[in-house]
Structure 1
Amino acid sequence: MSKLSFPILFGTLLLAGLIADSRARAETVPEVSASRVIELAPPDSQEKTPVISSVALDPTEKYLAAVGDDHLVRLFDAQSGRLLHRFDSHVDWVHASVFRPDGQLLATSGADGRIRFWNMDSTVRPHVLVEQLPVIYALAFSPDGRMLAAAGFGDKVWIFDGRQGKLARELAAPGNDIRALSFSSDGSRLAAAGRAGVVRLWDAESGNQLADVRVSPRRICALEYSPDGKLLAAAGEERVVRLLDAASGEPLSDLPERSGDVLALCFCGPDKLASAGSGNVIHLWDVNARQELRRLVGHTGSITTLVFDRGAETLISGGFDTTVRLWDLKHLDVERVTRR
């Protein structure tokens, strides 16, 4: 054997071993199915079934909202999955939905540049917050409900009064295409990120910029602070979930999410993180051990949104396959499908 062929052969064997080892590890991760599936039906049988952009859970666990490309806001009974209302106040793709922490108000936004407030009283009436913004991809309420952050196309993050809806402040965004916003669990910090691959941190109360953290060479699509306030997770088109120190923004470690672009992140308690995206699979991670615990399978299209029901320990997902899926993280059931 020549001197040249030996390192080539060794390298080939090493690469083959690494691939085999990664496949073996992947095969040991248990796969589970959803405990319940809600399939969104179009309002007219002649129309296409809507793609889901965002789901939001009322903190009182009474309502579940779903929005998407058919311009509608759907409101479900969170316990039964029964469709309660369809609203058509938007005139273009609805990208974001979020409940205020007191559960009395739902905010929605989208490609029409409108932000809508929906009061969760007997009439569930909309209140037009603003009409003339660019496309709004992301919304986030502060934990006390006093602030609503909004961002999308444009070089600003807009901060509104979370109760009256008045514009309170404009912050300079890191780039002109912001896809993700997150408040820390104590409400002291706000993080934003998007196409620039930079996470910008602000003091939420004063609006002072604290740090810019270069996280990725590609677009960041999802941000999430951990409930205990120690971690900030960021991910996107680089297909890696990056864990940052929540206080400093310093990168700590990576979770090797390789199944596709990451479009959604959600902490399921202080030590578990769910990630999902164009790979059609939800990965459930132990963030302390940096280990994948479960793969939640069943979606047949990109998963765009994740939210965790802490009371029921249930993860809720939605995506391009036009379904909302509920995953019981305590008692993993056989999937059953209902049409709404």
Structure 2
Amino acid sequence: MVLFPSHQAATISRHVGPVHCVTYSSGAGQYILTGGQDRKIHLFNSSTTSHIQTYDAHGYEILSLAVSPDNSRFASVGGDKSAFLWDVATAKTLRRFSGHYARINTCGFNHDASILVTGSFDATVRCWDTKSNANKPVMVWDEAKDSITSLTVGDGEVVTGCVDGRLRRYDLRMGQIHVDVIGHPITSVMQTRDGNAILVSSLDETIRLMDKATGGCLMSYKGHRNKEYRISSTFAMVDSYVVSGSEDGTVWAWDILEGKNVVREVAHAGKVVSAVAVNDGRREMVTAGVDGTVLIWRTE
């Protein structure tokens, strides 16, 4: 018996149009943030699914969200070309970071949310100091040849995925860039808890677990559909499983060591499932998709 949150426990229908991103609050993960094509961000209680707050300032679709470790602030990015920093309690924007020349696809905080990292369709990655009043980024990386689709911020490093098929790792302490060639447009990157491997989704319908030290592929996961859309993948149950959405309206989970598919659930009315997040402590998962709904999954 696979201990995995594969039971659809609740459906949230607050957005009008596709939901592009979803994330849990930090720590215990009592709350869920969602962002959509309708330019709205919503905050929900994950236990009761009750709606708590709406954050409304974007003029274009919202594509990525990041929550600070203390849950007091969060960042949102999308079609506006600016990154928004929000106060969770007051629902007011604290800062807007402008400098990208095209939509911003992805964002992430460092360990204390003093730095916000953003990746854009303009092929650059920018680092912003959230504590100073400076309007310019403290760092800009422009090595990519195409759109930055995903990034993850680790201990002293930033990992980015790009449409040019390159996985780039920026070592902030050594000032070095490490590049691994995946060979297909990358849609999602996520580091393991121990930081030794990186989960990479790409448009050849394959998810790869890449060894950070050697650049080699430790395991690959297949079966889902992903040829066109940006679909996120993540880890579940303390890095025991790999989880992903799919373009055919299904949610997949694989055994991380064996690469074997252990869960395949139909969801979101057969529409693209583009975003997925897992809360190990609650044994809970949330998915979002083109159908405009957010599904909460639990173990039965």
TM-score by length of 2: 0.89
User: How has the CA–CA distance of structure 1 residues 278 and 173 changed in structure 2, closer, same or farther, with 3 Å as cutoff?
Assistant: farther
Q: Is the partner of 1:263 in helix, strand or coil?
A: coil
What CA distance in whole angstroms lies between the structure 2 residues aligned with 1:207 and 1:80? 46
C-alpha contact (below 8 Å) 1:31/1:297 kept by paired residues:
no
Segment drifting more, 58-67 vs 238-247: 58-67
Alignment of 1:230-269 (within 5 A): 230-261=196-227, 263-268=231-236, 269=238
User: How has the CA–CA distance of structure 1 residues 230 and 103 changed in structure 2, closer, same or farther, with 3 Å as cutoff?
Assistant: same
Q: What amino acid is aligned across from residue 54 of structure 1 in structure 2? A: C
Q: Deviations over 1:63-116 (max 9, x none)?
A: 321111111111222322111222221101111111012211110011111211
Q: Of 258, 268, 281, which aligns to 1:311?
A: 281
Q: Is the partner of 2:77 in helix, strand or coil?
A: strand
1:131 aligns with 2:105: no
1:214 aligns with 2:181: yes
What CA distance in whole angstroms lies between the structure 1 residues aligned with 2:33 and 2:5? 27
Structure 1: state its 5+ residue gaps. 1-29, 42-48, 333-340
What CA distance in whole angstroms lies between the structure 1 residues aligned with 2:77 and 2:133? 13
Q: What amino acid is aligned across from residue 11 of structure 2 in structure 1? A: V
Residue aligning to 1:200: 168
By how many angstroms is 1:240 displaced? 0.5
Alignment of 1:259-338 (within 5 A): 259-261=225-227, 263-268=231-236, 269-300=238-269, 301-328=271-298, 331-332=299-300
Residue aligning to 2:25: 58
C-alpha contact (below 8 Å) 1:67/1:74 kept by paired residues:
yes
What CA distance in whole angstroms lies between the structure 2 residues aligned with 1:214 and 1:312? 36
Q: Deviations over 1:3-42 (max 9, x none)?
A: xxxxxxxxxxxxxxxxxxxxxxxxxxx994412211125x
Q: Deviations over 1:252-290 (max 9, x none)?
A: 232123433461111112221101131221111111122
Rg comparison, structure with higher value: 1
Q: Deviations over 1:163-191 (max 9, x none)?
A: 4475221112422301010123xx13221
1:40 aligns with 2:10: no
By how many angstroms is 1:50 displaced? 2.2
Q: Is the partner of 2:138 in helix, strand or coil?
A: strand
What CA distance in whole angstroms lies between the structure 1 residues aligned with 2:175 and 2:94? 26
By how many angstroms is 1:207 displaced? 4.4
C-alpha contact (below 8 Å) 2:205/2:223 kept by paired residues:
yes
User: How has the CA–CA distance of structure 1 residues 257 and 228 changed in structure 2, closer, same or farther, with 3 Å as cutoff?
Assistant: farther
What CA distance in whole angstroms lies between the structure 1 residues aligned with 2:62 and 2:179? 29
Q: What amino acid is aligned across from residue 239 of structure 1 in structure 2? A: E
Paired residue total:
289
Q: What amino acid is aligned across from residue 39 of structure 1 in structure 2? A: S
C-alpha contact (below 8 Å) 1:232/1:249 kept by paired residues:
no
Residue aligning to 2:124: 156
Bigger strand share? 2
Q: Is the partner of 1:150 in helix, strand or coil?
A: strand
Bigger helix share? 1
User: How has the CA–CA distance of structure 1 residues 292 and 257 changed in structure 2, closer, same or farther, with 3 Å as cutoff?
Assistant: same
Q: What amino acid is aligned across from residue 35 of structure 1 in structure 2? A: A
Q: CA RMSD in A?
A: 2.1
Q: Is the partner of 2:232 in helix, strand or coil?
A: strand
What CA distance in whole angstroms lies between the structure 2 residues aligned with 1:137 and 1:173? 17
Residue aligning to 1:118: 86
What CA distance in whole angstroms lies between the structure 2 residues aligned with 1:96 and 1:239? 22
C-alpha contact (below 8 Å) 1:182/1:191 kept by paired residues:
yes
Q: Of 223, 231, 235, which aligns to 2:189?
A: 223
What CA distance in whole angstroms lies between the structure 2 residues aligned with 1:253 and 1:205? 29
C-alpha contact (below 8 Å) 2:54/2:91 kept by paired residues:
no
Q: What amino acid is aligned across from residue 244 of structure 2 in structure 1? A: S
C-alpha contact (below 8 Å) 2:224/2:252 kept by paired residues:
no
Q: What amino acid is aligned across from residue 136 of structure 1 in structure 2? A: I
